[in-house]
């Protein structure tokens, strides 16, 4: 299948490498530097004990996309500038969006495409250079239909499926995104503000206290009180399995990049405001991270 992957970040690079094993992949990047680099050197995928070089064709993301399936892997805050390009992709081509948070749902409403899929990526990936990505944590990609029929979704899943890069279908996209949102909102901003590894949220009693308080606010805003125990257990389990990792938001802060705070905590904060709920810890985290972004850009 001809697959277009938009976005040359860690997720875009990771998917390009794996999917190019069975498919003809084109990676659409924002900078000509990255396009040239990938066309000349390919993409290197670093795994635990090995390194694989894949020859992948790269293009500028402003170029016309002509593929049978398009994966959108850019950060949520880069979506608006991409909309005119997505708009030019024929209506019958399925699009799969792989953003964190829920901020991107607003944009999808207006899209004319017949099949829009949403996915959450449970892999860990670290962009080492413009053309090198490290697969730091093995996981699953969960996909659900936002718009379109189940058969198409099944067909796409079966096409993408690989034993060492699995895909799973989720019945309800909203539940799927919310599950990821709860985890991201609990772990990312706290670890970014405190500049700690994910595991420190468990091993340091004071940080664990903060985690529980933040979690309570998230549960309250999303009206998930009934599933509280399940959700908290999954956060603890993720902190354990990624205990030595830095969250993506902390990495963004350390590398002076914009963070995904709007799509993660911003969404919850707005929801709380509409529901007239007080979420002071989320508010504190939101304002701190916005300040850290502001400061970075200012330097």
Neighbours of 57 (CB within 10 A): 14
Q: What is residue 18's three-state secondary structure?
A: helix
Catalytic one among 180, 197, 212, 251?
180
Please report whether residue 297 would count as binding a copy of itself according to CB under 8 A. no
Per rule CB under 8 A, is residue 252 in the interface with a copy of itself? no
Among 178, 196, 227, 236, binds a copy of itself (CB under 8 A): 196
**DSSP output for 153-164:** HHHHHHHH-BTT
Tell which one of 49, 206, 229, 276 touches a copy of itself (CB under 8 A): 206
Question: Is 199 among the residues that bind a copy of itself (CB under 8 A)?
Answer: no
- Are 282 and 217 a contacting pair, CB within 8 Å? yes
Q: Which two tokens stand for residue 195?
A: 């500049």
The single residue among 107, 167, 232, 281 that binds a copy of itself, judged by CB under 8 A, is 281
User: Counting contacts by CB under 8 A, is residue 31 touching a copy of itself?
Assistant: no
Residue with smaller CB distance to a copy of itself, 125 or 218: 218
Q: What are phi and psi of 241, to 5 degrees?
A: -75, -20
Give the list of residues 6+ apart from residue 97 with CB closer than 8 angstroms, or none: 72, 104, 108, 116, 117, 118, 119, 146
Region for residue 101 given its phi and psi (left: phi exceeds 0; alpha: psi -120 to 50; beta: otherwise):
left
Residue 243 found at the interface with a copy of itself (CB under 8 A)? no
- Known catalytic residue: 180? yes
Structure tokens at 200: 């420190």
Return the range that interacts with a copy of itself (CB under 8 A); candidates 133-141, 205-213, 221-229, 267-275: 205-213
Q: How far apart are CB 203 and a copy of itself at their closest, in Å? A: 8
Tell me the catalytic residues. Answer: 180
User: Which residues form the interface with a copy of itself (CB under 8 A)?
Assistant: 193-196, 200, 204-207, 209-210, 213, 280-281, 284, 287-288, 290-292, 294-295, 298
């Amino acid at each position: 299948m001809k697959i277009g992957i938009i976005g040359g970040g860690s997720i875009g690079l990771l998917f390009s490498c794996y999917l190019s094993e069975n498919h003809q992949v084109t990676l659409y990047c924002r900078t000509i530097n990255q396009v040239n680099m990938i066309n000349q050197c390919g993409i290197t995928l670093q795994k635990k004990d090995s390194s694989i070089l894949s020859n992948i064709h790269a293009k500028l993301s402003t170029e016309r996309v002509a593929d049978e399936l398009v994966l959108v892997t850019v950060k949520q805050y880069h979506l608006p500038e991409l909309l005119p390009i997505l708009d030019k992709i024929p209506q019958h081509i399925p699009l799969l969006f792989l953003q964190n948070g829920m901020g991107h749902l607003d944009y999808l409403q207006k899209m004319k495409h017949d099949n829009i899929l949403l996915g959450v990526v449970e892999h860990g990936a670290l962009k080492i250079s413009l053309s090198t990505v490290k697969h730091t944590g093995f996981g699953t990609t969960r996909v659900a239909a936002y718009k379109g029929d189940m058969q198409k979704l099944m067909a796409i899943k079966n096409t993408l499926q690989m034993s060492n890069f699995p895909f799973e279908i989720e019945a309800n996209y909203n539940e799927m995104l919310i599950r990821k949102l709860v985890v991201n909102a609990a772990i990312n901003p706290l670890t970014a503000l405190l500049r700690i590894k994910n595991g420190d949220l468990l091993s340091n009693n004071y940080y664990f206290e903060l985690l529980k308080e933040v979690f309570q606010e998230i549960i309250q805003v999303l009206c998930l009180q009934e599933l509280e125990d399940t959700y908290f257990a999954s956060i603890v389990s993720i902190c354990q399995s990624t205990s030595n990792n830095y969250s993506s938001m902390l990495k963004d802060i350390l590398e002076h990049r914009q963070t995904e705070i709007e799509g993660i905590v911003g969404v919850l904060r707005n929801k709380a405001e509409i529901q007239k709920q007080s979420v002071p810890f989320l508010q504190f985290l939101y304002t701190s991270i916005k300040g850290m972004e502001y400061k970075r850009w200012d330097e």
